[in-house]
Amino acid sequence: MASWLLGRSSRILIHQHHHLHKKYLPFLLGPFLNHNNSSCSSFPSTEPFRCRDAFPGKNSSPTLFRFSRHESTKAEAQLELEQDVATEDEPNQVIDFPGGKVGFTSEMRFISESPEKRVPCYRVLDDNGEIVKYSNYVQVSKEMGVKMYSDMVTLQTMDNIFYEVQRQGRISFYLTQMGEEAVNIASAAALAPDDIILPQYREPGVLLWRGFTLQQFVHQCFGNTHDFGKGRQMPIHYGSNQHNYFTVSSPIATQLPQAVGAAYSLKMDGKSACAVTFCGDGATSEGDFHAAMNFAAVMEAPVVFICRNNGWAISTPVEDQFRSDGIVVKGKAYGIWSIRVDGNDALAVYSAVHTAREIAIKEKRPVLIEALTYRVGHHSTSDDSTKYRGTDEIEYWKMARNPVNRFKRWVERNGWWSDKDELELRSSVRKQLMHAIQVAEKAQKPPLQDLFNDVYDQIPSNLQEQERLIRKTIEKHPKDYPSDVPL
C-alpha cells in the first residue's frame, strides 16, 4: 500500500500549501468554490451523489485547482495564448472524468506531430553579436559580462590543454566543452551559490564559475592525493560540497530524479534556492528522465532541468534519438513549463535560466530549458567523430556559430573588452594551467587505504580483512606495486 501513503502525504501537502497561501484565499476559493458547486449539482444522475470524501478538491479539475496555487501573472497571459489543440467542436459541452472536466468532440482527429511548425528558439544576440530587435532579456552588467566572457575563454583554454595532455598519455581520459561554453557559463551566471547543481559531465563551467580552481580541476584529472574524490573516478568526474556541485557519475540521467529529491528537500526546508540539473539530448531517452520529470511535476519541486541538445549522443544523431520536436515539447507532456533557447547565445541562456530559477523558487514548480547547440569537439578522447560526421560541418559550427566569438563581439561592442585584454587573459590562463599540471604531476597518488574507506561511513570488518589481505600480497610482490602510490 505504498501508493496509498504517497497519495495521502501528497494530499496533506496540498492542504498545507493551501494554508500557506491564505493571502490568495479570495482568488483561490473563488474558482474553487464556484467550480465545486456547479460540478456537483450538474451531474446528470438519478442517484444521490456526494463529492469525494477524502478531499473536496479532488472533484474539481486538478489542473484548474493547481493553477490557483501559482501567482505568476505571466501564467495568466500564457493561458490566453496557449491553444494547443483546435477549438472544441461544441465549446459549452463538457463531460466529467477523473482528472477533470474535458470537452468532447464528434470529430475523430488524431493529434499529429508538427514537422513543419516547430517551437521557436529564444535568442537575444544575433550571429554578429548584436541585440535582436525588440528582444526581452535580463540585463547583464559589465562586471558580469566580462566575467562570463573570461570564464568562457578559460574553459576553451582548459579544453585545448587537457585534450593534448590526454593525447600524450599523461591523463587517461578527457572530454571537452567545445561549442557549449555559453550554456555552461551563462547558466552558472544566472544562478545563486545556494542553488544545488547536479551535472551530467559536460558542465564543468558551472563549477569554474563558482570558484573551483584550475588547480583543483587538474588534481581531479590526474587523480592525485589532492583530488577531493581521492582519485576514485575517471577524469572530469568533478564534485565539490563547498560549491554545491554534486559529484559527477557516469551512468546517464541518474542525477535527474536525484535533483528532484534535492529540490523537494529545499522546498520542505523553506530555502530560497532550487536544484539545477543538466543533461544531454541522449539522456532524455533514459527512463530516469521520465521519472524525474513526472515526479518534479507531481511533487511540485523547485528544479530547473537544462538540456544541452547538441545534436549528438556519441555517434547517434538526434533523428535517431527521438522523433518529437526536440525536448521542449516534452515539458507539456508532464505539465512542466518549458522554453527552447539558442544555446550558443550567452545572453539568451542567461535570461532563460535567470527567469526559470525565479519561477521555480517563487512558484515551487519545475521548469525545463532546452538549449540548442552543437558538440564541436569529439564526444571524448575515446572518440573520433570524423567517422560519423564531416569535417566541414564541424568547422562550420566551430567558426561561424562559435558561442564564445559571438559573445566576444557583444562585450567588445560595449567597450568592455579589448584585444589587449584578450591576449593577457589567454596567456594568463595558459600559464596557470601549465603550472597546475606541473604541480599535479609531481603530487603523490592517494594512499592505498583510500581504496577501502568511504564505502560505508565506517569500514566494516570484511573490508578491513580485504585491506589486510592486499597489503600482505603487496609485501610478497613489492615490485608489482606502483612506486607512486603510498602504502
Residues 168-227 that bind its own copies (CB under 8 A): none
3-state secondary structure of 154: helix
> Considering the complex, what minimum distance in angstroms separates the CB of residue 231 from its own copies?
28
Q: Is residue 3 among the annotated active site residues?
A: no
- Comparing CB distances to its own copies, the nearer of 35 and 445 is 35
Q: Which of residues 299-328 bind its own copies (CB under 8 A)?
A: 309-326, 328
Among residues 9, 250, 382, 427, the one annotated as catalytic is 250
Contact between 423 and its own copies by CB under 8 A: the answer reads no
Binders of its own copies among residues 111 to 130 (CB under 8 A) are 111-124
Catalytic residue among 90, 164, 395, 424: 164
Backbone angles phi, psi at 142, to 5 degrees: -60, -50
Which of 56/447 has CB closer to its own copies?
A: 56
The closest of 367, 359, 365 to 298, measured between CA atoms, is 365
Cell reading at 283: 539522456
Instruction: Select 62 or 447, whichever has its Cβ closest to its own copies.
Output: 62
Cβ-based nearer residue to its own copies, 107 or 480: 107
Cell digits of residue 45: 444522475
Exposure of 272 by Cβ count < 10 A (0-12 exposed, 13-18 middle, 19+ buried)? exposed
User: What binding mask, one character per residue, do residues 223-252 give for its own copies by CB under 8 A, x or -?
Assistant: ------------------------------
Q: Which stretch binds its own copies (CB under 8 A): 47-55, 229-237, 416-424, 453-461?
A: 47-55
380 catalytic per annotation: yes
| 268: contact with its own copies by CB under 8 A | no
Strand-pair category, 312-313 with 316-317 = antiparallel
Cell numbers given for 369: 530549458
Q: Is 379 a catalytic residue?
A: yes
Residue 259: other Cβ atoms inside 10 A: 27
Site for its own copies contains 98 (CB under 8 A): yes
* C-alpha span between 164 and 157 (Å, rounded): 11
φ, ψ for residue 22 (rounded to 5)? -55, -35
Is position 68 annotated as part of the catalytic site?
A: no
- How many CB atoms are located within 10 Å of the residue 458 CB? 9
Element (H, E) at 308: strand 303-309
Q: How far is the CB of 357 from its own copies (least distance, A)?
A: 12
43 counts as binding its own copies under rule CB under 8 A: yes
Q: In angstroms, rounded to a whole number, what is the distance separating the alpha carbons of residues 375 and 439? A: 31
Residues in the chain: 487
Residue 409 within binding range of its own copies, rule CB under 8 A: no
Residues with a catalytic annotation lie at 164, 250, 379-380
